[in-house]
Amino acid sequence: MAVHELRRKAGLSQDALAERADLPPPIVARIESGTGDPTWGDMRRIARALGVSMEVLSELAEQRELDREV
């Protein structure tokens, strides 16, 4: 969910994010849907491609997880 939110804010399609992150588009789609099991390297590439730090991405992901629990 955090990747999806940041991608949309950046005005990128999944394909554009995948290209910027040098990842196959299906991996980005699985990460966004929560069905993928990304590596730290995948997440680092995505964070860089989105222009955010891993800390920002991690904090947003954690907040979205907490929001779903409520």
For the chain, the structural domain boundaries read: 2-69
For the domain covering 2-69, report its CATH number: 1.10.260.40
Share of the chain above pLDDT 70, in %: 100
> Is residue 70 predicted with pLDDT exceeding 90?
no
Residue 36, pLDDT above cutoff 90 = no
Averaged pLDDT for residues 29-52: 94
Indicate the average pLDDT of the chain. Answer: 94
Q: How far apart are CA 67 and CA 49, in angstroms?
A: 25
- Residue 68: pLDDT above 90? no
1 pLDDT exceeds 90?
A: no
**How does 29-51 read in b/e, with b if 16+ C-beta sit within 10 Å?**
bebbeeeeebeeebbebbbebbe
Are 24 and 31 a contacting pair, CB within 8 Å? no
How many percent of the chain have pLDDT more than 90? 83
